[in-house]
Amino acid sequence: MGYRGPVVGSARAEAFRYEGTSWSDGELTCRYSLDGRVFAERIMFEGGPAEAGPALTEALRLVYLVAGISYYKAGAPGVIDLGDTAVTDAEREFLRLYYVKGLGEFAYKAGLLTELQSLRIVGPSRAGAPTPVRSVGPPTGGALGRGEIRPLVPFGGGVDSIVVVEQTRRVHRDSALFVASRAGARFEAIETAAAVTGLPIRRADREIDPQILRSKELGFLNGHIPVTGIVSAMALAAAVIDGRSPVIMSNEWSASSDTLEADGIPVNHQWSKSMEFEAAFRGVLAESLPGVEYYSALRPYSELWVARRFAELEDYHPVFRSCNRAFHLDPARRWDRWCGECDKCCFIDLILAPFLDAERLERIFDGHEPLRRPELEPVFLSLLGDPTYTKPFECVGDVRESRVATVLAAGRADRAGDPLVQRLADIVRGQGPLLSAAELLDPLSDSFVPAASVPAASVPAASQ
């Protein structure tokens, strides 16, 4: 129902440093230090070669650079020392943006938002990649043929990535999924939906230094990190290993919407899914890894547009799950069904309600459909921009999308007697003019999707 305000945490550290990497037989080890305390993270890439060639070396270097944020935030000092890792001017600018904007929510909650704006990054510079790689070869070692496209789609089992997978596979038969997991932690919510696709899966398992998992005990600062940035870099490395391009993300238009503004500083829970991140990351890739393309296929489109298309993909309705409780790190606390009450459950229900009948949504939510539960009205009001509540720090859509979805749902015959839906619609109508449904179902922004690549319209629209 919204975050209630910042709370100052532990003291800030003095120094954070990048200490180097190593690669062996598909395993990347990244080392960092915070006030002398050393951290080591391991990332295991399925099918990774014994030695890394030029393209993979560059991709792994990007993973190392972005993964450091998990350890920096434990103390959030004012300076980041890159150690012996030389970066280009574009990479240094990207890294500063990534830390400052990507840690906006964390800094806001820790009472450090203003201080984070003065973050400095020091360390050696380089002119460009030592050996820029203009083409990425498949596992056999040859080069991709002219015009050959072998997409890799990072997959999380939610409506966005499901729609992208289905529109991609219609155009490119040699498509594959990328699944990033914590080491030894496969999530049923991802695996069951991935099985429906029938596509091959390329995997990488991330083993975070166990000290970070003891943050409270060790007195570390803790909070949200821009994990999509880390997954993006891991997917690029997996793409190089498997000779694939492009890496196609599933980040829609509303991911660029700020969650809130504090002291004149915008804070976006989804910043690493935003257009700003995508553009900056592509700028870095153009210098160091031009052989692999990266873009979001959903960038021009609203969550309403995505929901409309997902409604047609009935094979996924019994298995998809976007409830955050399905992804709890502790298996004993992990849900095997929708909880039906969290911010994410409420948003998914709301955005699908214009396109799926109430009976079907009741089945999807295992008899716990949020829109049938009047006690959840405060959660929905937070999604609708009610000034009493703060928009949730969750991957939920823009307030304007939620308002239109509410009115559309209320207009369905099967919702005529639904008291919560009708009450919410009355509230929305009293908030002033709405965007039209037609506006939200048309492209809303520019994107980096190549004209000759995956046409978003390749997924049939749901009937109205």
Domain boundaries, the chain: 16-126+149-296, 322-440
Q: Which CATH class is domain 16-126+149-296?
A: alpha beta
147 confidence band (pLDDT: 50, 70, 90):
low
Q: By mean pLDDT, which of 45-49, 64-68, 115-119, 141-145 is the weakest?
A: 141-145
Residue among 383, 387, 380, 385 nearest 423 (CA) = 380
Dihedrals phi, psi of 135, to nearest 5 degrees:
-140, 150
Rounded percentage of the chain residues whose pLDDT exceeds 70: 89
For residue 316, give Cα distances in angstroms to 90, 160, 225, 288, 297.
41, 12, 29, 38, 20
Residue among 269, 222, 224 nearest 75 (CA) = 222
| Structure confidence by residue, pLDDT tens digits, 257-268 | 999 999 999 999
Alpha carbon distance 245, 176 (integer Å): 10
Rounded mean pLDDT, 88-98: 97
Residue among 215, 166, 448, 118 nearest 316 (CA) = 166
| Structure confidence by residue, pLDDT tens digits, 401-444 | 999 999 999 999 999 999 999 999 999 998 888 888 999 999 99
DSSP string over 349-388: HHHHTTTS-HHHHHHHTTT--GGG-GGGHHHHHHHTT-TT
Rounded mean pLDDT, 156-161: 95
List strand residue ranges (DSSP E) for 377-420, in order.
none
**Taking a C-beta distance cutoff of 8 angstroms, is the pair 105, 30 a contact?**
no
Dihedrals phi, psi of 152, to nearest 5 degrees:
-125, 120
pLDDT, mean over the chain: 90
List strand residue ranges (DSSP E) for 13-85, in order.
16-24, 27-34, 37-45, 79-81
Residue among 237, 141, 150 nearest 199 (CA) = 150
Q: By mean pLDDT, which of 138-147, 179-188, 302-311, 382-391 is the weakest?
A: 138-147
133 confidence band (pLDDT: 50, 70, 90):
low
Alpha carbon distance 200, 205 (integer Å): 16
188 confidence band (pLDDT: 50, 70, 90):
confident
pLDDT at 29 over 60: yes
| Structure confidence by residue, pLDDT tens digits, 216-270 | 999 999 999 999 999 999 999 999 999 999 999 999 999 999 999 999 999 999 9
pLDDT at 376: 97
pLDDT at 456 over 70: no
| Structure confidence by residue, pLDDT tens digits, 329-364 | 666 666 678 999 999 999 999 999 999 999 999 999
453 confidence band (pLDDT: 50, 70, 90):
low
Task: Give the torsion sign (CA, 129, 130, 134, 139).
Answer: negative
pLDDT at 49 over 90: yes
pLDDT at 135: 43
| Structure confidence by residue, pLDDT tens digits, 275-307 | 999 999 999 999 989 889 999 999 999 999 999
pLDDT at 143: 36
What's the distance, Cα to Cα, between the start and end of the chain in Å? 31
452 confidence band (pLDDT: 50, 70, 90):
low
